[in-house]
Copies of this chain bind each other. A is one copy, B any other.
Amino acid sequence: MGVVLNLENGKRGSASIKELIGLTAADMGRVNELILSKAGSDVEMIPEIANHLISSGGKRLRPMVTLAAAQMFGYSGDGHVKLATSVEFMHTATLLHDDVVDESGMRRGKKTARMIWGNQASVLVGDFLLGQAFRMMVDVGSLDALDILSTAASIIAEGEVMQLAAAKNLETTEDEHFAVIKAKTAALFSAAAEVGPVIAAASRTDRAALRSYGMNLGLAFQLIDDALDYGGNSKELGKNVGDDFREGKVTLPVILAYRRGTAVEREFWKRAIETDAADDAALEKAIGLMTRHGAIADTIGRARHFGEIARDALAPLDATPQKAALVDVIDFCISRVG
């Protein structure tokens, strides 16, 4: 696909999360043990559903960010393992509820939990994981970390409602859209990064640096995800190209193509997004229009912009392997397109 090849020109060849994986390997082993133990329950359906999602090959980016951010400031206890696990549980709970809300059939190349166990179980097991996440945070005992993560939980839900209220609204402005993805995606990355310095009793400046890093990384991550839906590689993505389109999701590539389009093109978008008339022919046409208007390339441009802010947020910090690894994460996220 032409658009994909184009993007590869801007890709950093070395972008990888190998460094991050290496630095956090030992701690992630403990996170994985804790995940299994805290997703356990005598009520069989709970570990079944939790493990379905947890074992389905997500990258566990968020908990690795928490671990690296704590290591970076010399943290030596085991609280970061619990907080990292809490962050992953919050993320998993959100995915379970998201799939119900979006009526999604596939996630990461597997059937969603709601397709196997039903919406009801997905809602309730999500609630259970959220409860377990809070219990682990409480166990760590840092009121500051609790404040950050509970605030993130509210903001994420608020962002999801915002998205629901704006669903299929093609008049959504870019700013309104950024407000949604800031809340529904970036807030958790931000919290995941900030609790690292918090638990390591780092300075307010360091906390602010990691918070800003996480927020902007999260925005870049979501925008790239949205771009991938119209030009990525289905295998890497774990979902099919065009999933967002078929679900009538108004993501940034759509917003840009719609705003830049002719009156006739806008009619096409309305039909496709608002009336569930999005078949394969419509998807092909949509990608054609996006390419014509540079909508995918510019979505990636916006992502790069946030990536640069994330990089500069960390700039004043001492050079450490963890800092280098966190910078690599930015490049990795952006290099996923192509």
Contacts and interface: CB of A to CB of B under 8 A. Distances in A.
A331 interface: no
Contact of A123 (B100, B121, B153): B100
Contacts of A160: 124, 127
Contacts of A165: 43-45
Interface string A113-125: 0000001110111
How many subunits of this chain does the assembly comprise? 2
Given A44-B165, A119-B119, A161-B121, A127 B153 contact: yes
Interface in A118-149: 119-121, 123-125, 127-128, 130-132, 134-135, 137-139, 141, 143, 146-147
Given A120-B100, A146-B138, A125 B157 contact: yes
Chain A, interface SS category: helix
Contacts of A147: 135, 138-139
Given A131-B154, A131-B156, A141-B143, A161 B100 contact: no
A44 B150 CA distance: 21
A138 B138 CA distance: 9
A162 interface: yes
Interface string A73-113: 00000000000000000000000010011000000000000
A181 to B, nearest CB: 14
A130 B153 contact: yes
A170 to B, nearest CB: 19
Contacts of A146: 134, 138, 146
A161 B130 contact: no
Contact of A164 (B45, B135, B161): B45
A151 interface: yes
Given A43-B158, A128-B158, A130-B157, 14 more contacts: A41-B161, A100-B119, A101-B120, A119-B119, A124-B160, A124-B161, A124-B164, A125-B161, A128-B157, A131-B153, A131-B154, A137-B150, A138-B143, A138-B146
21 contacts: A41-B158, A44-B165, A45-B161, A45-B165, A97-B123, A100-B119, A100-B120, A101-B120, A101-B124, A119-B119, A121-B164, A124-B161, A128-B157, A128-B158, A131-B151, A131-B153, A134-B153, A135-B150, A138-B146, A138-B150, A141-B143
